[in-house]
């Protein structure tokens, strides 16, 4: 993409504008060029409301100053605009690519937003070793080798890898394990590896397996199966029944990998099928991945958008963001006619440096595959709507239970975890209309070491950090309800923190209740600033089950985070915290003494004998461990 340049010297203004809305936009139009670019609409708090692209910046932005022709969503956006920023690009294609990148980065609330941005897993045939191995890979493709995918999920990769091990017997162990084996491992015994580590197969034989695996993953599956069938028949004719059985098992494994799941993928050598089911404010986009004539699975997405936006508009915005940082296949098949299809094709082709086509099939196998994907999208959307309706009812019950003005759109739940004052962790989980919002979860490593397991003090620190940040960053998400895993004491402490910060958010304490039994939870509230007597809910009330789920999820997250930190501390090397001991000196000490614990017990004379350890450094190491023992 071309290097961007500012459209105007007034692109960023230091003073807060005195006007807003259409008047502000009209003022900006006078400074804009008749050239392609990207514009951002910004509210009074400096938060980006919308990111858009334009073939002609002046003409596109001027359209917002007209009184007619806008829906309610656009009118609200215009009315909230207090500033605008512009970036000029050389071409409209560059503007489209930049727009998709900025939307994913800034997440403006008036844009269509793709909310799941996880990378997809691949199968990697590593060739950076004399004996290649077959593994699962996720992330940047920097390792030397052949990548096959993407797969829709880690489960799909694991199932495929499992069967490929049976079919091609390639090693999956690390280079370190491979170099230190003296006899074949269990995978060799169960016929999942050919054991090149101990010479059970020669170099030429293993290379043949590697080449066969590569050809199969590249789509030459029929030829590989024919070769195995011939090998099985030859072995059988020579009465080598064990060899024939091995070939039969490999054929069976390959057949499993090639199962079509109801879709004839033979003509889909490198393509993604992307279909949308659209209903009001909600949409489901299904993405099916096909590579080398094989269906690698599918994934459902639920982009955020306004009710006024059509299915085609949502799908076009989705595709631009979806392929912003992902490899794009040669063909993309969609179930809607996209207004900006030509521009989108040009932008993706430019980024991938190869021709990319976006097409709506009208007949044949591709149309059947498209119908199958569309059916999946409709079913997934129906399930989502049903779940959302149930969730909305529960949130309304929460509002009724705690006398809230409206159902909470965002609930933050807090819990603490520690073991006799060590590895102290505070945790926050978030829930809303769409269930648990796991990307919003936060953990807090307790910094005050003098707290030593004081649950009240831990909660005080967590709240000061979480909601102190809310004061510094007003655009940060603000909850409508706060739940605390604790009773009167925890609620009292957190109320003092919030009063000190000047923040008014409804808070509820959930105590375990009598005998700590589920169903007997006591709820503490303070609608007037004074904590009232606790109350309970009927043991079979749906809202009670929902609140228990929230509390249990917060507890699970806190315990899991605490255990992970404790495990990390247990594996720390005693040499890690000594000033002046870097990787090379640590390695020398470990090679000499065998372990960090042995080095910690060594005398000063023994430390001085280690290569690379000077008398000064030896004294520092000795003093460090001597001081710890006192």
CA distances in angstroms from 608 to 118, 191, 591, 614, 628, listed in the order given? 50, 51, 14, 6, 20
560 and 427: one domain? yes
pLDDT for 2: 43
Alpha carbon of 156 to those of 123, 125, 169: distances in Å?
A: 10, 17, 19
Comparing 347 with 223, the larger pLDDT belongs to: 347
- The reply to whether 252 and 320 lie within a common domain is no
The reported pLDDT for the residue numbered 15 is 45
Checking if the pLDDT of 11 tops 50, the result is no
pLDDT level of residue 8 (50, 70, 90 thresholds)? very low
| CATH code of the domain containing 613 | 1.10.150.20
Residue with the bigger pLDDT between 510 and 156: it is 510
At residue 51, the pLDDT reads: 93
Q: How far is CA 2 from CA 88, 327, 411, 413, in A?
A: 10, 20, 43, 46
Final residue of a domain: which of 569, 596, 612? 569
CATH number at residue 329: 3.30.420.340
Tell me, yes or no, whether 345 and 492 share the same domain.
no
Compute the average pLDDT of residues 316-339: 90
Does residue 433 lie within any of the structural domains?
A: yes
Residue 514 has a pLDDT of: 61
Asked if residue 551 lies in contact with residue 483, where contact means CB atoms within 8 angstroms, the answer is yes
Residue at which a domain ends, from 569, 603, 621: 569
- Does 115 fall in a domain? no
pLDDT at residue 335 greater than cutoff 90: yes
Tens digit of each residue's pLDDT (9 = 90 or more) over 172-207 = 888 888 888 888 888 888 888 889 998 888 888 898
Q: What mean pLDDT, rounded, does the chain reach?
A: 82
Task: Please state, in angstroms and rounded to a whole number, the distance separating the CA atoms of residues 159 and 256.
Answer: 10
> pLDDT-based confidence at 4, cuts 50/70/90?
very low
| Residue 448 and residue 485 in one domain | yes
Least confident of 52-61, 296-305, 355-364: 296-305
- pTM value is 0.63
Shared domain check, 592 and 564: no
pLDDT digits (tens, 9 = 90+) for 452-480: 667 788 888 889 989 988 888 877 888 99
Q: What is the pLDDT of residue 398?
A: 92
Do residues 418 and 502 both lie within one domain? yes
Tell me what percent of the chain is helix, strand and coil, each rounded to the nearest 5.
45, 20, 35
- Residues 3-10 have a mean pLDDT of 45
Question: Would you state the pLDDT for residue 422?
Answer: 61
Q: Residue 585: which of 553, 552, 620 has the closest Cα? A: 620
In a domain, 465, yes or no: yes
Residue 220 — pLDDT band, cuts 50, 70, 90? low
Can you read off the two tokens belonging to residue 517?
């039994």
Instruction: Check whether 570 has a pLDDT greater than 70.
Output: no
Q: Measured in whole angstroms, how far is the alpha carbon of residue 201 from the centre of its chain?
A: 41
- Residue 621's pLDDT is what? 82
> Residue 616 falls within a domain, yes or no?
yes
Residues of the chain with pLDDT > 70, as a percent, come to 85
Classify residue 557: in a domain, yes or no: yes
Residue 431's nearest CA partner among 498, 485, 381, 479 is 479
pLDDT at residue 122 in the model:
86
Is residue 544 in some structural domain?
Answer: yes
Same domain, yes or no, for 208 and 146?
Answer: yes
Residues 459 and 338 in one domain: no
Residue numbers of the domain that contains 11: 5-106
Q: Is residue 387 part of a domain?
A: no
* pLDDT tens digit sequence for 429-458: 999 888 888 888 988 887 776 676 677 888
Q: Say which CATH number the domain at 92 has.
A: 3.40.1440.10
Q: What mean pLDDT do residues 251-267 have?
A: 56
Confidence bin at 612 (pLDDT 50/70/90): confident
Both tokens of residue 140?
A: 């940047």
Give whichever of 88-97, 228-237, 288-297, 608-617 has the largest mean pLDDT. Answer: 88-97
Residue 508 pLDDT level (bands cut at 50, 70, 90): very high
**453 and 593 assigned to the same domain:** no
Q: Answer whether 96's CB lies under 8 Å from 54's CB.
A: no
Whether 77 has a pLDDT exceeding 80, the answer reads yes
In a domain, 394, yes or no: no
Last residue within a domain, chosen from 257, 281, 309: 257
Pair 55, 32: CB distance under 8 Å: no
For residue 519 the two structure tokens come to 């169903």
The verdict on 496 and 625 lying in the same domain is no
Place of tokens 């806008």: 70
How many helices (H) and strands (E) are present in the chain, helices listed first? 20, 19
Q: Do 146 and 188 share a domain, yes or no?
A: yes
14 or 329, greater pLDDT = 329
The closest alpha carbon to 54, from 35, 71, 41, belongs to 35
Which pLDDT tens digit goes with each residue over 549-563? 898 898 888 888 777
Whether residues 201 and 170 fall in one domain: yes
Q: How many residues does the chain have?
A: 630
Q: How many domains does the chain have?
A: 5
pLDDT at residue 617 is higher than 60: yes
Question: Residue 412 pLDDT more than 50?
Answer: yes
SS3 318: helix
């Amino acid at each position: 993409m071309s290097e961007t340049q500012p459209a105007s010297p007034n692109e960023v203004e230091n003073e807060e504008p005195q006007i807003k809305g259409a008047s502000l936009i009209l003022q900006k139009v006078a400074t804009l060029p008749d050239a392609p670019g990207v514009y951002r609409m910004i509210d009074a708090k400096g938060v980006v409301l919308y990111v858009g692209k334009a073939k002609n910046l002046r003409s596109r932005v001027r359209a917002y100053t007209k009184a007619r022709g806008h829906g309610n969503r656009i009118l609200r956006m215009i009315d909230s605009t207090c500033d605008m920023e512009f970036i000029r690009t050389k071409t409209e294609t560059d503007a489209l690519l930049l727009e998709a990148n900025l939307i994913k980065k800034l997440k403006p609330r008036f844009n269509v937003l793709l909310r799941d941005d996880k990378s997809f897993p691949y199968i990697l045939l590593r060739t950076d070793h004399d004996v290649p191995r077959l593994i699962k890979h996720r992330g940047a493709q920097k390792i030397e080798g052949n990548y096959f995918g993407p797969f829709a999920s880690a489960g799909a990769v694991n199932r495929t890898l499992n069967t490929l091990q049976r079919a091609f017997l390639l090693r999956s162990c690390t280079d370190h394990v491979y170099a230190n084996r003296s006899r074949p491992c269990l995978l060799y015994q169960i016929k999942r590896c050919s054991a090149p580590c101990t010479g059970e197969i020669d170099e030429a034989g293993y290379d043949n397996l590697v080449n066969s695996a590569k050809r199969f993953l590249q789509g030459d599956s029929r030829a590989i199966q024919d070769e195995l069938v011939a090998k099985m028949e030859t072995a059988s004719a020579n009465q080598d029944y064990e060899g024939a059985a091995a070939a039969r098992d490999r054929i069976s494994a390959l057949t499993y990998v090639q199962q079509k799941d109801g879709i004839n993928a033979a003509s889909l050598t490198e393509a993604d099928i992307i279909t949308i089911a659209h209903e009001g404010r909600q949409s489901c986009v299904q993405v099916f991945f096909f590579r080398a004539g094989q269906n690698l699975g599918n994934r459902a997405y639920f982009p955020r958008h306004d009710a006024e936006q059509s299915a085609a508009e949502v799908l076009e915005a989705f595709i631009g963001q979806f392929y912003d940082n992902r490899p794009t296949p040669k063909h993309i098949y969609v179930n809607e006619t996209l207004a900006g299809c030509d521009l989108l094709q040009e932008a993706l082709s430019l980024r991938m440096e190869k021709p990319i086509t976006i097409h709506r099939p009208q007949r044949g196998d591709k149309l059947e595959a498209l119908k199958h994907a569309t059916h999946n999208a409709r079913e997934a959307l129906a399930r989502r709507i049903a779940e959302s309706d149930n969730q909305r009812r529960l949130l309304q019950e929460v509002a009724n239970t705690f006398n809230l003005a409206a159902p909470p759109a965002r609930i933050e739940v807090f819990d603490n975890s520690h073991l006799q004052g060590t590895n102290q962790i505070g945790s926050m989980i978030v829930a809303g209309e769409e269930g648990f919002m796991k990307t919003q979860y936060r953990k807090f490593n307790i910094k005050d070491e003098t707290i030593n397991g004081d649950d009240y003090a831990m909660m005080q620190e967590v709240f000061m950090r979480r909601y102190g940040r809310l004061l510094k960053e007003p655009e940060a998400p603000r909850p409508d309800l706060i739940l605390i895993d604790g009773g009167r004491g925890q609620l009292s402490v957190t109320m003092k923190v919030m009063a000190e910060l000047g923040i008014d958010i409804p808070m509820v304490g959930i105590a375990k209740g009598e005998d700590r039994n589920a169903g007997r939870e006591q709820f503490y509230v303070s609608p007037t600033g004074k904590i009232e007597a606790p109350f309970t809910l009927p043991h079979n009330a749906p809202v009670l089950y929902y609140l228990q789920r929230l509390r249990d999820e917060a507890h699970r997250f806190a315990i899991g985070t605490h255990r992970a930190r404790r495990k990390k501390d247990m594996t720390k090397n005693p040499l890690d915290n000594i000033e002046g001991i870097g990787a090379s000196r640590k390695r020398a000490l470990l090679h000499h003494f065998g372990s960090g614990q042995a080095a910690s017990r060594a005398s000063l004379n023994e430390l001085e004998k280690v290569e690379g350890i000077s008398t000064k450094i030896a004294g520092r190491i000795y003093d460090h461990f001597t001081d710890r023992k006192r």
